[in-house]
Chain A
Amino acid sequence: MIKRLTWRVATVTEIRQETPTARTLVFDVPGWPGHLPGQHVDVKLTADDGYSAQRSYSIANGDDGERVELTVQQVGDGEVSPYLTEVLEVGDQIELRGPVGGWFVWRPHSSPPVLLIGGGSGIVPLMAMIRSRGKSDTPFRLLYSLRDPGQLYYAGELEKVMAGVEVAYLYTRTAPPDAGRAPGRIRAADLVAYGWPPETAPDVFVCGPTGFVEAAADLLTELGHDPAKIKTERFGPTGG
C-alpha cells in the first residue's frame, strides 16, 4: 500500500525570532506521522480567491510527536517567506504535508563520524540532526558559514557546549575579533582544520544556497572524500 502524503492543518503555537530577518515557527500538526532529521515539508498558503503558493522548508526539530518546527529566512522580494517571517502569528493556521525526502537524512543508529556543513539557512536540517543526536556517541563536527555574527540561528543552543559536537563558525563578511580566521567564503583549509579527514570516512551533509553547496562539495571531493558519502541539499538559486 502506498502511503499518501496528505495536506494537514498546522497551527502556530510559538514563534522565536532567530535574527532580524529569520524566525522559527513552531506548529502543532494533528496526525503528524513523525520524521527523520534532514527531511522537509511542503507548505501551502491559500489566498481568499483560491490562489495558492507552495514552497519547501526543512524541519528544524527532532522527531517530537505532533510538533513541527521550521526556521524561515526572509528572501527580499519573495512570495512566501515574507509572509511566514512577518505576517503569520501565534494561533494562525496554514497547510503543510510531509515528511518529504528519504535521502538527505541522518539515521541516528549509523556509526561513522558526521560532518555537517551549512551555509546561512542551510543550518536548519543540520540542526535537526544535532538535536536528534541525543545520547548517541557518534561524534559530530559542524562548519557553519554565515555572513556575520548577527546572522546566527539557534545562538543560545549552539553556544552551549555540547559533548561530542564541535562547532566552527566560518564568517564570510565580518568576524568577531576572537574568531581566529579571516572572514571569507569556505576554503579547503577550513575543511582540513575543522572537518574530519577523508580516511575516517565520515557521513557528510552539505546544505545551503546552491553556490555554497557546489563550492563545499567540490572542495570535499578534491580533498579525497568519497562522493557517495556526500549528501547535499540545495535551497535556492542564489546567495552566499
Chain B
Amino acid sequence: MGIISRAFQGRPRDHDEKLPPGQYLVHDFPVLSAGPTPRVPLDRWEFAIDTPEGEVHRWSWEEFQALPQETPTVDLHCVTKWSKFGTEWKGVSLDVLMEDVESAAEYALAYSYGGYTTNLPLEDLLDGKAWIVHEFDGEELAPAHGGPARLLVPHLYLWKSAKWVKGIRLLNDDWPGFWETAGYHNYGDPWREQRYQGD
C-alpha cells in the first residue's frame, strides 16, 4: 500500500469483481485517440488480412456485411482508468475472418485508416476473443468511436482495439505499434495492470 493521502476518502467502495485494479466505472463512453477522427466512405472501405507467406484476403463493405454476425456484450477497460460494463456490439468474429488464412505467423499488427497501429499476439485474436465490429448499442458505429468498423479485443486495454481498422498484418516477429513505441505496455492486460513498459 502506498502512502496515505490525508483526509482522502474516495467514493463509497462497492467492491466489484469485474473491475480490474486501478480502474473506475463510467456510464458514458469517453473518447480517446491520438489525432483527428478519420472519415472513411463505405464505398472505399476495405478490410484485409495478409500473411508473411504472401497471402492476402480482402473484404469490401458488402462482403464483410454478408459474413456471419455476432453480438458480443463485453466490458471495456481503458488505460486512462475508466471501465465500462456490458457494452453491446455487432460484428464478425476474427475466427470467421481467419478461417481460410494459412500461416505460421505468431504475431499480428492491426493498422487503421489514419495511420494508427497496435500489435498483439495472434492467439489473442482467436478463439472467440476478438471481433471486427460495426455497430454499438444497436446503432452504426460513430466515427469518434472508430466507425465504420473497429477491432474489439476486450480482454486487453482498449488501445489494442484499433479504431477505423483497415487490416491485420500477420507477422513472424512482434512489431510494436503506435502507443507501444510511445512507452505503453507491449501486451496491456488490465488484470495485471500492464499500463506502461515495465509494469
List A residues at the B interface (Cβ < 8 Å).
Answer: 2-5, 7, 9, 42, 44-48, 50-56, 79, 83, 87, 92-95, 100-104, 210, 214, 217-218, 220-221, 227-228, 230-232, 234, 236-238
Contact = CB atoms under 8 A, between A and B. Distances in A.
Contacts of A101: 182-183
A124 B63 CA distance: 46
A228 B34 CA distance: 10
Contacts of A45: 5, 8, 10
B61 interface: no
Contacts of B5: 45-47, 83, 92-94
Given A92-B6, A228-B115, 11 more contacts: A45-B5, A55-B81, A79-B24, A87-B8, A93-B5, A95-B3, A104-B34, A218-B36, A227-B114, A234-B30, A237-B31
Nearest to A39: B183
19 contacts: A2-B198, A44-B2, A45-B5, A45-B10, A51-B10, A56-B81, A79-B11, A79-B24, A92-B6, A95-B3, A100-B196, A102-B183, A103-B34, A210-B30, A227-B36, A230-B36, A232-B35, A237-B26, A237-B28
B2 A95 contact: yes
Contact of B3 (A93, A218, A230): A93
Interface of B: 1-11, 13, 22, 24, 26, 28-38, 80-81, 114-115, 144, 178-179, 181-183, 195-199
Contacts of A4: 197-199
Contacts of B26: 237
Q: Which 9 A-B pairs have the closest CB atoms?
A: A4-B198, A217-B36, A102-B182, A45-B5, A237-B30, A2-B198, A45-B8, A46-B2, A210-B31
Given A46-B8, A102-B183, A232 B28 contact: no
Contacts of A218: 36-37
Contact of B144 (A52, A100, A214, A220): A214
Nearest to A43: B5
Contacts of A100: 183, 196
B152 to A, nearest CB: 20
A239 B114 CA distance: 26
Contacts of A55: 81
